[in-house]
Amino acid sequence: MKMGPLTKTELKNKISGLPRVSIACLPTPLQETPNLSKELGVRILIKRDDLTGLVMGGNKVRHMDFCMADAMQKRADVSLNINAWMSNNARIIGAASKKIGMDYICVAPDSKHRPIQGNLLIQDIMGAELHLLSTSDQSEIMKYTDKLETQLIEQGKTVYNHNKEHMSRSSATISYMDATLEIDNQLNQLDGIENVEVFIASGGAHGGLMLASSALELPWNVTGIIVGTPEESYADVVTWSNNALNHMGFSERLTWNDVVQLDSYIGPGYAIPSEECINAIHMVAELEGILLDPVYTGKVMAAIIDHARHGKFKDDDTVLFVHTGGLPELFNFSEELKRRDYK
């Protein structure tokens, strides 16, 4: 698929035509990493989307500008979500819902006996109604949630069910098409930028960067790092991106053949950090004083380190690492991440 070509003004106008509410603190910083760059022998910039300003930040705060505007247009007063116990999405949807005056209910599968810490703790602190289920069976979870939604409607509530609303997911792609304009403006203020190698955890944000940079004909290669099941990652990028294109009035559609993803850095599985992921977290913290998370960004940085160590970057490349946040989950992985035992 070929997007565009579009001018920056044309893309901006497409995005501006969508309902939007200001939730994310933008623009986020684009920072040099002198120590990490020296260590790896390539210029590395970090786009600090861990600093988006809502409950410890993250890329999904950008999504909320569009998602919550959609909920407000539909006059919803309850935000209903199904998300895993370690979900950053659940934390940020909850905070954004509260910020615009909606109640928030989260159904969390396989979480009945989990410690209330990390993202679960933050949801509890901000007054979310948590339904911690013991089951991970999809049919049981959907039946439970459908019953819950029916009860809310019978009580006179207008429910925004994030698992049914297209904009809840498409907002990821849209917000990162918008972020492409922001990043391009920041890069244009720096010297020595020629080829840009963008690395990000695969998902809707990956799709947004890929679509917009292609449409604007920017000198970027956008690579998504798969952190879980490859089939789900491909489907997420393609489905969410195509829904986003539909919302924006584009006729083009993304196919699986358009998506550049790497599945070599998943490690043992989703939300299970590999040794390379843990080493990446330690390296960036020690050299730059920046924390990464063990579910997403640690694995993306592991890919960058591996590419650098094996000479896969060219001399004129600039590596742009999109830091998508996820920091509350550091505390659910203390045993894996601590460098040593203390007595």
Angle at 239 between CA 234 and CA 241, to 5 degrees: 100
Two structure tokens written together for 203: 């998902």
Instruction: State whether 183 and 242 are in the same domain.
Output: yes
Q: What is the mean pLDDT of each run of 10 residues along the chain (343 residues)?
A: 87 97 98 98 98 98 98 98 95 98 98 94 97 97 98 98 96 98 98 96 96 96 92 83 95 90 94 96 98 98 98 97 97 93 81
DSSP string, 111-172: -TTS-S-HHHHHHHHTT-EEEE-S---HHHHHHHHHHHHHHHHHTT--EEETTT-HHHHHHH
Pairwise CA distance, residues 139 & 122, whole Å: 27
CA separation for the pair 257, 259 (Å, rounded): 6
94 and 127 co-located in one domain = yes
Per-residue tokens: 159: 């429910």
> Does a structural domain hold residue 218?
yes
pTM for this prediction: 0.96
Amino acid type, 288: E
Output the pLDDT for position 123. 97
Three-state SS for 222? strand
Domain hosting 73: range is: 61-165
Are 67 and 186 part of one and the same domain? no
In a domain, 1, yes or no: no
* Residue at a domain's end among 142, 165, 188: 165
Give the list of residues 6+ apart from residue 151 with CB closer than 8 angstroms, or none: none
Find the CATH number of the domain harbouring 36.
3.40.50.1100
